[in-house]
Amino acid sequence: MIEFKNVTKSYDRKNLVLKKIDFKIKTGEFVVLIGESGCGKTTTMKLINRLIDPSEGSIFIDGEDISKVDPITLRRRIGYVIQKEGLMPHMTIGENIELVPKLLKWEKEKRKARAYELLSLLNLDPEMYYEKYPHEVSGGQKQRVGIARALATNPDIILMDEPFSALDPITRESIQDEVLKLQKELGKTVIFVTHDMDEAIKLGEKIAFLKDGEILQFDIPDEILKRPTSEYIEQFLGKDRIWKTPKKLLVSDIMSRHYSTIDKSSNISRAYNLLKAHDSDFLVVTEVEGGKHEEPIGIIFRKNLIYAMENNILRVRDIMDKNFITIDKDSNLLDVLNKMSTLNAKVIPVVDDKNRLTGVITNLGLVNAINKIAPTPEIEGEEVEQIGEAL
């Protein structure tokens, strides 16, 4: 675990570049620092491997105050990857990767074996690349070598400062995928800096949002997307972002908990009174009285009740709509839209993993939920059609 406790940093004793930074990164976690240029991302990174020291406050790694650890010893536990991969131009790729192992006086054979292993790990054929010079390979390959070098001595923490910002989008996608896979396989703690929200969402288990030397929000990507804590973050995210990731919007986020239930053996007039009292259009029918957490067995609408009264049908169970669908609370917005449109459902009871009623999704509720989450959604294409169809 890496822990910042009340860390401030100023370079000139006047301007605070970091103001009382307080956060914890768990072992094995992939944490992304994001924010505009100059907000203090690089400064935060450099404090971790003691390229600089805090003006106030302390940083702990696994409970140990790092100001008491020799920086060289500390850095052996911490790999560092920077934007311009920082390879030595006059050294081969092999020599670049073996730089630190060599300083640590590893035998040549052991060093080479490690370099080969790492090149393979990063999808670079060692036979082909070991002897090459940095200028002979592409930007993406150089960046892979930069990562290999950071992993050389098997550190448990990796710092990555905007490592992919100079890469073209396609190379960038594939190298992001590789880093994610690697981090999972190797179980490293990664602190990754970017100013690109898409990259942050894709990579981060947690995202720390920085502005002017302060952490505005530190949370899982879903939470930041759904509930940004400030207007600044909201703007940074772009209000339409949720529409780019409708899979992240879960039924439990958009369902309504305001609904009434009635048991199947109740009579129609009781159902009608209940509807009137709650100014509702429908009731969810359950097996027993007050069965909020029971399995839903039917739905009854106002028009069914009127029909029942006109035709002397006495019991709820004889008129309820049994051909309804339910949806799991962990499904996402796209699943809801699909179900609503293909089955032409007006009300969908939401159930938990034990098939117990936990909420409902209605057309109107859906619109309201959507409006609340994205006040002025700029939605396009498929999703608009699906919503149009669903309502």
Q: Which residues bind Mg ion (CB under 5 A)?
A: 41-42
304 binds ligand ADP per the rule CB under 6 A:
no
Nearer to ligand ADP, 141 or 217 (CB): 217
**Terminal CA-to-CA distance of the chain, rounded, Å?**
48
307 binds, among Mg ion, ligand ADP, none (CB under 5 to 8 A by kind): none
Residue 58: beta bridge partners?
A: 5
Binding positions for ligand ADP, 17-46, rule CB under 6 A: 17, 35, 37-43
49 binds, among ligand ADP, Mg ion, none (CB under 5 to 8 A by kind): none
Count of residues touching ligand ADP (by CB under 6 A)? 10
Burial class (CB in 10 A: 0-12, 13-18, 19+), 123: exposed
Binding mask 139-178 for ligand ADP (x = CB under 6 A): ----------------------------------------
Q: What is the 3-state secondary structure (H, E, C) of 67-92?
A: HHCCHHHHHHCEEEEECCCCCCCCCC
Nearer to Mg ion, 36 or 289 (CB): 36
- Give the nearest distance from C-beta 17 to Mg ion in angstroms: 11
From the CB of residue 187, how many other CB atoms can be counted at a distance below 10 Å? 10
49 binds ligand ADP per the rule CB under 6 A:
no
- Give the nearest distance from C-beta 11 to ligand ADP in angstroms: 3
CA atoms of 291 and 87, how far apart (whole Å): 67
Cα–Cα distances in angstroms (integers) from residue 120 to residues 81, 129, 197, 251, 289, in the given order? 18, 10, 30, 42, 64
Name the amino acid, one letter, at 268: I
Q: How far is CA 45 from the centre of its chain?
A: 21
Nearer to ligand ADP, 9 or 149 (CB): 9
From the CB of residue 64, how many other CB atoms can be counted at a distance below 10 Å? 11
- Give the nearest distance from C-beta 36 to ligand ADP in angstroms: 7
Instruction: Name the residue whose CB lies closest to Mg ion.
Output: 42
146 binds, among ligand ADP, Mg ion, none (CB under 5 to 8 A by kind): none
CA atoms of 170 and 159, how far apart (whole Å): 23
11 binds, among ligand ADP, Mg ion, none (CB under 5 to 8 A by kind): ligand ADP
Q: Which tokens in the block code for residue 159?
A: 């710092």
Binding mask 306-345 for ligand ADP (x = CB under 6 A): ----------------------------------------
For residues 251 and 327, the answer to whether their CB atoms sit within 8 Å is yes
97 binds, among ligand ADP, Mg ion, none (CB under 5 to 8 A by kind): none
- Give the nearest distance from C-beta 292 to ligand ADP in angstroms: 50
- Give the nearest distance from C-beta 41 to Mg ion in angstroms: 5
CA atoms of 80 and 69, how far apart (whole Å): 18
- Render the burial of 124-142: b for 16+ CB within 10 Å, e for the rest: bebeebbeeebeebebbbb
For residues 6 and 51, the answer to whether their CB atoms sit within 8 Å is no
Judged by the rule CB under 6 A, the positions of this chain that interact with ligand ADP are 11, 17, 35, 37-43
